[in-house]
């Protein structure tokens, strides 16, 4: 019984490990600004209403937000400078 339990535990652990490895996206560099600082800049933009989505792709943050007049805005930010690219 204990061998069965041990074998099952190992199988679950290995399956979970490979599932976690599949989500191996690159991380922002160690000297990157805090994401909250970048969002604070977005919130100061004219007509800002709300943030819809923030993505990390190709070494940059992609922030999608809407304005008070319902316009969709998408801006790519450099993670180190926190400035738009």
pTM attached to this predicted model: 0.70
Residue closest to 54 by CA, chosen among 34, 72, 27, 76: 76
With tokens 């999608």, the residue in question is 64
Does 5 score more than 60 pLDDT?
no
> Could you please report the per-residue DSSP string of 22-73?
TT-PPPPPTTPPPHHHHHHHHHTSTTEEEEEEEEEETTEEEEEEEETT--EE
Contacts (Cβ under 8 Å, ≥6 apart) of 57 = none
Q: What is the pLDDT of residues 12-56, one digit of tens each?
A: 556 555 555 556 778 999 999 999 999 999 999 999 999 999 999
């Amino acid at each position: 019984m204990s061998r069965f339990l041990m074998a099952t535990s190992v199988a679950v652990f290995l399956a979970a490990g490979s599932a976690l490895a599949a989500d191996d996206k690159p991380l922002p560099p160690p000297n990157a600004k805090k994401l909250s600082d970048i969002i604070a800049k977005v919130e100061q933009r004219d007509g800002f209403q709300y943030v819809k989505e923030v993505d990390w792709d190709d070494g940059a943050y992609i922030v999608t937000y809407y304005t008070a007049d319902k316009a969709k805005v998408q801006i790519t930010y450099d993670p180190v400078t926190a400035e738009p690219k």
